[in-house]
Amino acid sequence: MSAFLNLLFRNRLAAMGAVVLAVIVALVLLTPLLPLQDPDITATADRFKRPLTDGHILGTDHLGRDLLSRLLHGTRLSLAVGVAAALIAATIGSAIGIVAGYFGGRIDNVIMRGVDMLMAFPYILLALAIVAALGPGLMNALIAVAAVNVPFFARNIRGVTVGLAGREFIDAARLAGMGHTRILLTELLPNVLPVIIIAMSTTVGWMILETAGLSFLGLGSQPPQADLGSMLGEARSALISHPHTSVVPGIMIFLIVMSINLLGDGVRDALDPRLRSGALSRPRATTLVARKGDIPAPTDDLLAIQDLHTQFHVGERIYRAVGGVSLAVKPGECLGVIGESGSGKSVTALSVMGLVASPPGVITGGAVRFQGEDLIGAPYAALRAKRGDKVAYIFQDPLSTLHPLYRVGHQLAEAIRSHHRVPMAEARARAIQLLHDVRIPNAEARIDDFPHEMSGGMRQRVGIAMALANEPDVIIADEPTTALDVTVQAQILSLLDDLRRARGLAIIFITHDFGVVAQLCDRVAVMYAGRIVENGPTDAVLAAPAHPYTKRLIACVPELGGGRRELAAIPGLPPMVDDLPPGCAFAPRCDKAQEACRTGDIPLSGTPPRAVRCLYPEELV
Amino acid sequence: MGGYILKRLVSAIPVLFGITIIVFLIMSLIPGDPATAILGSYATPENVEKLNRDLGLDKPMVQRYFIWLGNMLQGDFGRSFSLNRPVLDEVLERFNATLILAGTAFVLCSVLGILAGVVSAARQYGLADKLITFVVLIGISVPSFFLGMMMILAFAVNLRWLPVSGMYAIYGGGDLPDLLRHLVMPALALAAVATGVVARLSRSAMLEVLRQDYIRTARAKGVPERRVILGHALRAAMVSIIPVLGIQAGFVLSGAVYIEIVFQWPGVGRMLVDAILKRDLLLVQGGVVFVAACYVMFNIAVDVAQSLLDPRIKT
Amino acid sequence: MPALKVDNLAKTFPLKKPLFGAAPPGVRAVRPMSFQVETGETLGVVGESGCGKSTLARMLVGLLEPTQGTIEIEGRALDNADPAAFGKLIQYVFQDPLSSLNPRKTIRQVMEAPLKRLYHMPKPERDVRIAEIFASVNLREAFLDRYPHEFSGGQAQRIGIARALAANPRIIILDEPVSALDVSVQAQVLNLLADLKRDFGLTYLFITHDLAVVEAVSDRIIVLYFGAVVEIGRAESIFANPRHPYTKLLADSAPVVGRPLTAPEQKDTELPDPLNPPPGCAFAGRCPRATDICRREEPALTPMGDDQLAACHHPLET
């Protein structure tokens, strides 16, 4: 709770809204105690007194009634009615939504049909019809506003509930013997509640507006009782001659609604976990660069990553995702980068072309050189010209990495036309050729498919075709087969292998699978906690791993054909990269660790082509 | 495509039925006796009974519903007693005026809202974003009827740029420029809230889309940033913006009721409020059913637009 | 008496009836299948996405009502889908450990639910029991008062296993229990599962797509393809000596250190369409040995050699 309030008030606008609202609420609560004139006493002689006249700070209205007193009483009424309407609508609507969403099937169908019908009305028609039937009056206006908002809550909450009801913890609760009522109340409701609160906080202001609106039309509160809407409605005829009678209630409505909206946004931001810590930031076109220290000198490699540091800055915390990685590939070479999740292998790959999402990503040191030219901190135009043209990417999940609304042919042609001025027809012909190259059967027809019309394996072939579109020198493949079935994976791997041999491509292949590395890569680099702990020719590293981590990681992967057995697990967990231990990051899990392992920086050393970052390696390299 | 439109049209039939049932049920909530309401409390019992018979109110409810529905399907929405003319004639005439007002406001809010949202998202946390966010916040917090009144004070009374109210000048006028001069303020006042809502939603939809993997793919293949934003991102964001436009059309139609009152626009909203205050229930009933039916049709158009944009929707 | 006996179990998901015309036949997610799991055995179920393995699992624990067929646990038939009735006999460990824990409940609340609801155990007994279970899955009791988001994937999966154990079931269905985990953690969880099975005398049905994992943990293995059992055999021999061409394809596709990269399937074929299933053997379209009879008649599961069954008209020779 206090964490929630902290978050809420860190948002200055929300805090401002809260303050304004608190003042208004305090005023209206105290209204009966304040020395105010009776809001309903008319004094025609004193009509239309201007503000700041004696005895009437805000002046008087067309019947000579004190505007301040009427304003406070009206605000009291408007707030009460609006909040009551919101509570009623939220309670009924949420109950309907949860029931429909949880049970699904026929119950859901019937309920939601009804809701759809209510939503088929522009809301005011329904409200007007209800008021027409029940007769004008504040209570009836309240009922009307609540009623038209029930479908809104019902639909909103149902959507959330359907998502939750499909989650595995609901299944788990059923397996634990819980009945429907108990699941609804103890499993679903606590998870839906924040959404209900968000929906309420973002609509209560609107409901206050609506009840005021009905009163403004003369369908809500009836004279002499007045809420803010009817004050405004009554003042309208004197708008031109005595504008202050309109301005006073109008501004009050505005203040109330704005403060509630500000507060409501704050509540939403604080409750929605996705919005916390600025997670909904738009990634920039390139990763931010804030390099400290020296920039390494150029080498003659095709692509060289040199002492790269990439961090994520989230609030106060700094996650050192990549802490000084150096890698290089030569033409035609395939380099595997292997590691567990959080080892920094993907971030390393994305840093090359400035594709790490930023914020929160920042490249804080090192260089990435393509044919000697540093890409880190290169101007956007220079970087863009190389993206996809010189260095291309293949990503993990082909469903989410292809644009769902463009045909694959369009996406392929776009890759070509982003770098070469060719007519559309030529680009399309080239796209068909590319689909042939990645062995998509019937390429002429499939080019007009949308991604969702293809299977996972076919989509990944499109992803590969897109990477090949401009005949790049380097392809960076970030777990390209992890989302695929094993038989499809085999096809994709052999395709990649053929392509690289036929075209002399350099590939940086990111994976967590030793089997894949062994079959595809010439060299391999093993990453742990943002650093390379070992690298060398694949066969040598796999046959005689030098770093204890490599050795034990290989041992704990079951291999087909090994039969039934106990696996050699590594105890403990990889360290969090915002809290790395000094010395070797693997030391806490390593049975060979000595005191020296826990202090100071341990260099990557050995005789090329092998190197290891360990004081007590398993093999001397 | 034609199949999808047909499917949506067919599926609208039960919704239209539902609308008539809901309106009918609400109207049957009326306490007391409509005939008394029409004739006033001094009417003789014989007159009341005769009117009840004329209106068919002595029959059971289900029968009454089907008679009413049957008449409407034949274009007979009944006769307004307060105006003494057929309900449908009055509604059609008034709806025309509302359509001009609400249609203009809807186009304004869609174009301005999406534009503001895209700029805001592309320049997140920049000056433009902050400015837009601020204006939008005011836009969605100010009651449209109050905004309209303040506009009258400022632009009609003080600056005398625009006419105070009405749809056409009483003397002369009646041509298009005259209509446009009268249209500016009400359309802007009406569009204000909806523009704010569309802008906010477009901004968050854009931000959401910009974080997707396929945007990274587009950047990775070297697509220029302008195309990434206005092509890839906006197109995907439209999938969630379009349904909101459909909902906002309902809000614009609703808001038109206030604006028509403030600016004395001779539209269907003002007619409904007058009819309620005069207890002219047939006019209310007819107006509500007619406008709701039009809104249902509009939403079908929105769905069709959505299916044109998003191939994943089964056609 | 087998721990679990499944007879002719099948699930067809009905499709939505179109506006005009008759309802389509529906998607046969699980075609009628029969098998049994002996007490104390680990039966591996392996197959690729869309093969029906998750549908099968959900039917076995009563989360999904079968279209036909029966489930017998230790001789007791359970034919209506009621998770509470199933719960004491058979439990489920989910693939995504974090998603299977209610984010707004403490681990203690999660752990107490089965004890309270299935066994109506009073509070002091519950505490003792939870402490025992936590000790057996190597979790600290301090974790009990924390919320799920505070745990890593491996820890959360231990909690998921602990919850399943709390119901004191005879059988545990493990649905891809280590797929979401990193390899170093995966081995920890697999070893833990082996220990628990020994200590508690459990029977496992282990569902996965990972051939190496399933081989390492199972006694027998069932291979599923397109909703049907294509082969059943002993874990140590089924991939070395497959009889069904699909099993062979799977085994040849798995990346193995030291085996050169080959594309075992030269034709770039696609999976059959569940909305429009082919007649005969579902694998015929991808199969190098397919003949006319394969495209006409669905092959039945027939015994081939010791302890091995395959559904194939032209099985591979050993």
pLDDT at A255 over 90: yes
Contact between chains at A132 and B258 (C-beta distance less than 8 A): no
Give A-chain residues touching B269 at CB under 8 angstroms.
124
Q: Which domain holds residue A77?
A: 71-271
Tell me the C-alpha distance between B36 and B51, whole Å: 9
Residue A25 lies in a domain: no
Contact between chains at A560 and C254 (C-beta distance less than 8 A): yes
Pick among A231, A403, A462 to test the B interface (most B CBs inside 10 A): A403
What stretches in chain C show pLDDT beneath 50? Answer: none
Give B-chain residues touching A280 at CB under 8 angstroms.
204, 207-208, 211
Residue A32 lies in a domain: no
pLDDT of residue B107: 97
Domain boundaries, chain C: 4-310
pLDDT of residue B36: 66
Q: What are phi and psi of A313, to 5 degrees?
A: -105, 105
Residue A164 lies in a domain: yes
**Chain-centre distance of CA B112, in angstroms?**
17
pLDDT at A469 over 90: yes
Per-residue confidence at A277, pLDDT binned at 50, 70, 90? very low
CA distance C51 to chain A (A): 11
Q: Tell me the average pLDDT across A266-277.
A: 69
Tell me the C-alpha distance between A430 and B23, whole Å: 60
Contact between chains at B122 and A282 (C-beta distance less than 8 A): yes
**Cα–Cα separations (whole angstroms), residue A1 to A20, A270, A276, C149:** 22, 11, 15, 17
Q: Count other Cβ atoms within 10 Å, centred on residue C126.
A: 18
Using CB atoms, which residue from A191, A341, A489 is nearest to C104? A191
- CA closest to B208 among chain A residues: A280
pLDDT of residue B121: 92
Pick among A189, A485, A526, A560 to test the C interface (most C CBs inside 10 A): A560
| Beta strands at C203-208 and C42-46: parallel, antiparallel or unpaired | parallel
**Between chain A and chain B, how many beta carbons pairs sit less than 8 Å apart?**
239
**Between chain A and chain C, how many beta carbons pairs sit less than 8 Å apart?**
204
Q: What is the pLDDT of residues B146-203, one digit of tens each?
A: 999 999 999 988 888 888 888 887 776 678 888 888 999 999 999 999 999 999 999 9
Amino acid at C94: F
Per-residue confidence at A561, pLDDT binned at 50, 70, 90? confident
Residue A321 lies in a domain: no
Provide the edge-to-edge strand list for the sheet that holds C76-78: C27-37, C4-13, C68-73, C76-78
pLDDT of residue A274: 59
pLDDT of residue A393: 96
Q: Tell me the average pLDDT across A286-293.
A: 90
pLDDT of residue A531: 94
pLDDT of residue A47: 78
Class of residue B290 by CB neighbours under 10 A (exposed 0-12, middle 13-18, buried 19+): buried
pLDDT of residue B40: 65
**Cα–Cα separations (whole angstroms), residue A586 to A104, A414, C144, C153, C219:** 49, 45, 28, 19, 35
Predicted TM-score (pTM) of this structure: 0.88
User: In this structure, are residues A223 and A207 in contact, taking their beta carbons and an 8 Å threshold?
Assistant: no
Give B-chain residues touching A414 at CB under 8 angstroms.
218, 221, 223
Q: What percent of chain A has pLDDT over 90?
A: 53
User: In this structure, are residues A487 and C253 in contact, taking their beta carbons and an 8 Å threshold?
Assistant: yes
**Cα–Cα separations (whole angstroms), residue A139 to A445, A465, A520, B30, C35:** 64, 66, 75, 15, 66
Residue A20 lies in a domain: no
Q: What is the pLDDT of residues B235-281, one digit of tens each?
A: 999 999 999 999 999 999 999 999 999 999 999 999 999 988 888 88
Q: What is the pLDDT of residues B90-109, one digit of tens each?
A: 999 999 999 999 999 999 99
Tell me the C-alpha distance between B99 and C20, whole Å: 36
> Residue A53 in 3-state DSSP?
strand
- Output the six-digit token pair for A182: 């108990």
Per-residue confidence at B311, pLDDT binned at 50, 70, 90? confident
The strand ranges marked E within chain B are 79-80, 85-86
Contact between chains at B142 and A257 (C-beta distance less than 8 A): yes
Give A-chain residues touching C251 at CB under 8 angstroms.
560
**Chain-centre distance of CA C20, in angstroms?**
38
Tell me the C-alpha distance between A469 and B306, whole Å: 31
CA distance B158 to chain A (A): 10
Residue A215 lies in a domain: yes
pLDDT at A273 over 70: no
Q: What is the pLDDT of residues A315-374, one digit of tens each?
A: 788 999 999 999 999 999 999 999 988 899 999 999 999 999 988 899 999 999 999 999
Give the number of domains in chain A.
1
| Beta strands at C228-234 and C76-78: parallel, antiparallel or unpaired | unpaired
Q: Which residue has the tokens 């506003």?
A: A145
pLDDT of residue B82: 83
DSSP A298: P
Q: Which residue has the tokens 């006694």?
A: C219
Q: Tell me the average pLDDT across A575-581.
A: 85
Pick among A160, A167, A169 to test the C interface (most C CBs inside 10 A): A169
Pick among B94, B214, B252 to test the A interface (most A CBs inside 10 A): B214
Using CB atoms, which residue from B137, B153, B217 is nearest to A401? B217
CA distance A465 to chain B (A): 11
Give A-chain residues touching C110 at CB under 8 angstroms.
172
Pick from C244, C235, C237: nearest CA to C215: C235
CA distance C252 to chain A (A): 8
- Stronger pLDDT, A131 or A534, i.e. the higher one: A534
Q: Tell me the average pLDDT across A473-499.
A: 90
Tell me the C-alpha distance between A503 and A307, whole Å: 29
CATH level 2 (architecture), domain C4-310? 3-Layer(aba) Sandwich (3.40)
> What is the length of chain A?
621
B92 touching chain A per CB within 8 A: no
Q: Check which CATH number belongs to the domain holding A120 and give it.
A: 1.10.3720.10
Q: Tell me the average pLDDT across A574-584.
A: 87
Give A-chain residues touching B261 at CB under 8 angstroms.
216-217
Q: What are phi and psi of A369, to 5 degrees?
A: -115, 125
pLDDT at A87 over 80: yes
Give B-chain residues touching A356 at CB under 8 angstroms.
none
Per-residue confidence at B56, pLDDT binned at 50, 70, 90? low
Tell me the C-alpha distance between A99 and A109, whole Å: 11
